[in-house]
Amino acid sequence: MSKSFFENVLEQIDATAENMSLDSGIHKMLRQPERELTVAIPIEKDTGEIEVYTGYRVQHNSARGPCKGGIRYHPDTNLDEVKALATLMSLKCAVANVPFGGAKGGVTCTPSKLSKKELQKLTKRYAAMILPIIGPRSDIPAPDVNTNAETMGWIMDAISMYKGSTVLDIVTGKPLELGGSLGRREATGRGVMINTVELLKKLNKNPKETSIAVQGFGNVGSISAELLVEQGCTINAISDVSGGLYNPDGLDIPKITKYVNSKPQISLLKDYNRKKDDEIISNQDLLELDIDVLVPAALENQIHSDNADNIKAEIIVEGANGPVTKKGDEILSERRIYIIPDILANSGGVVVSYFEWVQGIQSFFWGVDEVNKNLKNILLKSFDEVWKISKEEKATLRDAAFLLAMGKIAKATELRGIFP
């Protein structure tokens, strides 16, 4: 029986703890979230029928500051997944050196089957149900899979109604008109691009001679693709839940992005009016293409023991959280494939969420150039720290990132002491 997502994350934590001779008490603390909340979310649907959904909020570790993490709406969302993602968020914040711990939230639902009015009801009731454990100084949610700036605006409004005043710093990833930050929507994809280009430089590879496949064409995948094209890379393949497109000479990413963003509802790649040289491929085909860089930016556990031997890319950049299983990671490492791990590769979102939180507290907002400049500085510093540890310890980039992150959390825990 295959291991769960959370078990995979714990396996990496255990291996790192042994490698760094981590204090056994701190190791035990890192293996268990500080707080797990499961809530029932009843809403009246447009038909008048009452439906009850299940929601979660997990806070993993607050040693380095308030917890931070997104909220996802997905039919497969469960407590195990949310615990795993909250744990990864603690590590991601530590790698990026932003003063947050990790949290995550989710609602088990199929958003495409809910009207906008139903989604708004679901969101506001969920916000009310998790209100006892969230707050600007304790836990600040953000968007994730199938949630966006509008969703965050609904949450901010619900919490503000309870508090009796507008609370800008309760969530990040909000619309600009409601205290959002310039550059936040593009931040995760921009981080993927910055990390990819930096690794290409370290390996003396030219972006203009680099072929890339991107699995998942949502916010992270589409923006990563756009920005990598601006750097001179060629995007040969992309995919979404309906399947993928491949062109050996490169896809017209600006045109495809325009199509995907053209409708208020989800626009699927299978319905795209493709060029005659564009081939239809499956998600599995995309993962196994003969290209230079693979960016899995969909969901977790996409690369595993059954397909890791078939991966032909020299570099994998984890746009999604946990797209490679522990066993898959071991196979790829043995094959000397470079993997920029999720806790480094997709940390751009939480970095700019930090900027948004700071701007909301101060009610003073930055220009997009300042946001992007500060984001780049932080990500390059993080990349260099991970790269240096990787070389010194003769470790993979994932192992190096875990060593860096767990070392920072352990130091903060040690300095604070155990309460009481």
Rounded CA-CA distance 325/340 in Å is: 14
The pLDDT of 375-393, averaged and rounded, is 98
- Concerning whether 116 is annotated as a catalytic residue, the answer is no
| 413 part of a folded domain | no
Task: Return the sign of the alpha-carbon dihedral for residues 313, 392, 30, 61.
Answer: negative
Same domain, 191 and 296: yes
| 365 part of a folded domain | no
Q: Which domain holds residue 89?
A: 5-13+21-171
Radius of gyration of the chain (CA): 21
| 52 part of a folded domain | yes
The pLDDT of 172-187, averaged and rounded, is 96
Same domain, 41 and 87: yes
Query: What does the mean pLDDT of the chain come to?
Result: 94
Rounded CA-CA distance 418/170 in Å is: 27
Same domain, 160 and 253: no
Distances (CA, A) of 388 to 201, 255, 401, 404: 15, 39, 10, 10
Same domain, 154 and 198: no
Whole-model pTM: value is 0.94
Q: Any residues with CB less than 8 A from the CB of 154 and at least 6 apart, and which?
A: 120, 123, 124, 127
Three-state secondary structure along 334-401? HCCCEEECHHHHCCHHHHHHHHHHHHHHHCCCCCHHHHHHHHHHHHHHHHHHHHHHHHHHCCCHHHHH
Q: 156, 178 in Cβ contact below 8 A?
A: yes
> Is residue 401's pLDDT more than 90?
yes
Q: How confident is the model at residue 267 (pLDDT cuts 50, 70, 90)?
A: low
For the purposes of burial, counting CB atoms within 10 Å of the CB of 243, is it exposed (0-12), middle (13-18) or buried (19 or more)? Answer: middle
Higher pLDDT, 48 or 264: 48
> Is residue 265's pLDDT more than 60?
no
> Is residue 264's pLDDT more than 60?
no
Same domain, 92 and 164: yes
Rounded CA-CA distance 272/259 in Å is: 7
Same domain, 217 and 293: yes
| 180 part of a folded domain | no
Q: Which of 108, 138, 171 is the last residue of a domain?
A: 171
Tell me how long the chain is.
420
> Is residue 189's pLDDT more than 90?
yes
The pLDDT of 326-337, averaged and rounded, is 94
> Is residue 308's pLDDT more than 80?
yes
- The closest of 104, 108, 133 to 54, measured between CA atoms, is 108
The pLDDT of 277-285, averaged and rounded, is 89
The pLDDT of 73-91, averaged and rounded, is 96
Which residue is listed with tokens 């299940």? 54
The pLDDT of 191-216, averaged and rounded, is 97
Q: What pLDDT, on a 0 to 100 scale, did the predictor assign at position 270?
A: 77
Q: Which of 307, 340, 373 is the last residue of a domain?
A: 340
Q: What pLDDT, on a 0 to 100 scale, did the predictor assign at position 266?
A: 58
Q: How confident is the model at residue 76 (pLDDT cuts 50, 70, 90)?
A: very high
Rounded CA-CA distance 347/381 in Å is: 12
Q: What pLDDT, on a 0 to 100 scale, did the predictor assign at position 268?
A: 73
Same domain, 158 and 9: yes
Number of Cβ within a 10 Å radius of residue 211: 19
Q: Which of 137, 171, 205 is the last residue of a domain?
A: 171
| 409 part of a folded domain | no
Rounded CA-CA distance 406/196 in Å is: 23
Q: How confident is the model at residue 154 (pLDDT cuts 50, 70, 90)?
A: very high
Which of 68, 83, 92, 104 is flagged as catalytic? Answer: 104
Q: How confident is the model at residue 61 (pLDDT cuts 50, 70, 90)?
A: very high
Residues 311-330 pLDDT 10s: 999 999 999 988 999 899 99
Same domain, 251 and 316: yes
Q: Where are the beta strands (DSSP E) in 216-337?
A: 234-240, 243-246, 279-281, 293-296, 315-317
Rounded CA-CA distance 401/407 in Å is: 10
Same domain, 9 and 142: yes
Q: What pLDDT, on a 0 to 100 scale, did the predictor assign at position 243?
A: 85
Q: What pLDDT, on a 0 to 100 scale, did the predictor assign at position 13?
A: 96
| 288 part of a folded domain | yes
Rounded CA-CA distance 284/277 in Å is: 20
Please tell me whether residue 301 adopts helix, strand or coil conformation.
coil
Rounded CA-CA distance 104/81 in Å is: 9
Number of Cβ within a 10 Å radius of residue 116: 10
The pLDDT of 45-55, averaged and rounded, is 98
Q: What pLDDT, on a 0 to 100 scale, did the predictor assign at position 271?
A: 75
Q: 355, 369 in Cβ contact below 8 A?
A: no
| 314 part of a folded domain | yes
Percent of residues, the chain, with pLDDT higher than 70:
99
> Is residue 226's pLDDT more than 90?
yes
Same domain, 139 and 287: no
Same domain, 28 and 159: yes
* CATH number (domain holding residue 159): 3.40.50.10860
- If one counts the domains in the chain, the total is 2
Q: How confident is the model at residue 139 (pLDDT cuts 50, 70, 90)?
A: very high
The pLDDT of 123-142, averaged and rounded, is 97
The pLDDT of 159-173, averaged and rounded, is 96
Rounded CA-CA distance 384/11 in Å is: 25
Same domain, 189 and 303: yes
| 55 part of a folded domain | yes
Q: How confident is the model at residue 1 (pLDDT cuts 50, 70, 90)?
A: low
Q: Any residues with CB less than 8 A from the CB of 393 and at least 6 apart, and which?
A: 399, 400, 403
* CATH number (domain holding residue 236): 3.40.50.720
Higher pLDDT, 142 or 1: 142
Higher pLDDT, 260 or 112: 112
